[in-house]
Structure 1
Amino acid sequence: MRPCRRTSGRTALAVARSSRRDYLNGYFAGRVAEAVGLRDVMTREAPDADVVDHAGRLLHVICHCAGMGTTLALYPHADAVMAAHVRQVARLGPSVERCIAGVLARSLVSEALRDSVGPAERWATLRGAYLALLDREDWC
């Protein structure tokens, strides 16, 4: 699937529509990440706050979709997108939407999600980055 050439507003809309807290989203969340070019969007210098927030929700879905669609363990850009997400969340600062960072940190080491996220060792550095972010004074 080729990445769509979208403006950041359209990218945010596409990602938002794919992460509406419905368990069926797991069937296509990985395809959405590929279609909107999530790696490219998240690794550019300063993506819109809406894109970062929706990307966090999409990553959350991908962490929970074993047996349905592309899992975090199988998503080819997972490491780059997760690293970019934690950097962008740190840049933007705290918000209710960005507290997904704590959920993502927990998901990365959950035994129940092992089929979706893979071995916890793979994510140790990123989990540490999410937890360090949550421990910052401005996040308390």
Structure 2
Amino acid sequence: MLKPNPTLGYLGAVIGLVWLSGFSPRGPAQAVVAAGQAQAFAPVTDEMLLDPDPADWLMVHRTYDFQSFSPLDQIDRDNVGQLRLAWMRAMDEGPQEIRPLVYDGVMYIAHVGDDARQVACSRGTSNTLFVPDCTA
């Protein structure tokens, strides 16, 4: 049995946070946020990463032990067949390997071209969170 490696989980969280901060190897990126979209945001803490809220997915694989299982129990073997599409979003053209993060009811998704989107999980509405300025 593989033992959890907290160092790898921590490294993944750091890489994710660096990505969300707008790091770009092409130089400093300029963020573009839609007017009026700024809202109060409580930063994720180390404690939250160690013991995430069941509804949040704060890092790749969700927890440091890389289990990738949700503790939520609303969907089970008896009702999984009743699931129906609630909403969908078109993806940008290009190769996709999406690893979304979910925090406080908002899904953060990286798209091709280094732009990031935030999607309200309950209704599927999307805001552009970050678009790199590659002209610099």
Higher fraction of helix: 1
TM-score (norm 2): 0.24
Q: Which structure is larger by alpha-carbon Rg, 1 or 2?
A: 2
* Larger RCO (alpha carbons 8 Å, 6+ apart): 2
